Amino acid sequence: MIVEEIMNTTVFSLKPSNTIKEAVQLLKKEQIRHLPITNEANEVIGLVTERDIKNALPSSLLKIPDEGIYDQPLENIMTKNIIVGHPLDFVEEIAIIFYEHRIGCLPIISGGKLVGIVTGTDLLYNYIELTGANKPSSHIEIRVPDIVGILFEVTKVFHKHHASVLSVLVYPDKEFDEMKILSIRVKIMNPLSIIEDLRKEGFDVLWPNMPGMKL
């Protein structure tokens, strides 16, 4: 999946000459936390985040508020040389950028111009969609040995039951190095016969438990 499929194309941005007060109002009105700062040619020259603004403002506990700070231009507080992305970047790649650089948003640039923005929340939602958790489904977790062809053996059982698989996640087993956990979402309300057949084939079905089994 590439970035242009998930990015927000309605981007709220301001100019370096706009004031902190204007930024505060815009963030509040649109319920957002990041503002790319662009020049007249719509090129990104900086970024102002909610945290930059908080750092610039005096403590709300101070008795004498210094209103003058609100009139300062954003160019005084914006971060320059920011990390940006491209519409053709892979979503997995930018996820790593978010994680490694501990950033909250990524302005997306094409032809030198600001064309979109992706936030950490967008990435998280994208992940939820990948898991299929927003579609009617049952969830089955299976512990399998980490060997070639095992996924084929497992999905054969689902095929036999004509059950549509919405997503398959494979993740390492924290207890046993030589095992993997398969987390499968399947579009079926009655998974009992599938679970029974998986067990017959010798697979270790972790969840759902049969009623009456231990926690």
Partner 1 sequence: MAKYAGHETVDKNAVFIYSDNQLGYKFSDTHPFNQKRLTLTVDLLNELGALNKVDIVEPRIATDEEILLGHDSKYMDIVKKAGRGEITNEQGEQYGIGTEDTPIFPFMHEASAHIVGGTLTACDYVMQGKAKHAANLGGGLHHGFKGRASGFCIYNDSTVAIKYMQQKYNARVLYIDTDAHHGDGVQWSFYDDPDVCTISIHETGRYLFPGTGNVTERGTGKGHGTSFNLPIDAFTEDESFLDIYETAFREIVEHFKPDVILTQNGADAHYFDPLTHLYGSMKIYKEIPRIAHELAHEYCDGRWIAVGGGGYDIWRVVPRAWSLIWTEMTDQKAPDGPLPSAWLEKWQPESPVTLIPTWMDPINMYNEVPRKVEITEKNHQILEKALYMIRSIQS
User: In the complex, which residues of this chain contact partner 1 (CB under 8 A)?
Assistant: 133-141, 161-164, 185, 187-193, 207-209, 211-212, 214-215
Query: In angstroms, what is the minimal distance from the CB of 25 to partner 1?
Result: 24
Query: In angstroms, what is the minimal distance from the CB of 199 to partner 1?
Result: 15
Q: What is the DSSP string of the chain?
A: -BGGGT-BS----B-TTSBHHHHHHHHHHHT-SEEEEE-TT--EEEEEEHHHHHHHSPPTT-SS--GGGGGSBGGGT-B-S---B-TTSBHHHHHHHHHHHT-SEEEEEETTEEEEEEEHHHHHHHHHHHHTTTSS-EEEEEEEES-TTHHHHHHHHHHHTTPPEEEEEEEE-SS-TTEEEEEEEES-S--HHHHHHHHHTT-EEEESPPTT---
> Of 101 and 135, which has the nearer Cβ to partner 1?
135
**Cβ-count burial of 46 within 10 angstroms (0-12 exposed, 13-18 middle, 19+ buried)?**
buried
Query: In angstroms, what is the minimal distance from the CB of 50 to partner 1?
Result: 22
> Of 62 and 215, which has the nearer Cβ to partner 1?
215
Query: In angstroms, what is the minimal distance from the CB of 201 to partner 1?
Result: 18
Query: In angstroms, what is the minimal distance from the CB of 170 to partner 1?
Result: 18
Query: In angstroms, what is the minimal distance from the CB of 185 to partner 1?
Result: 7
> Of 86 and 139, which has the nearer Cβ to partner 1?
139
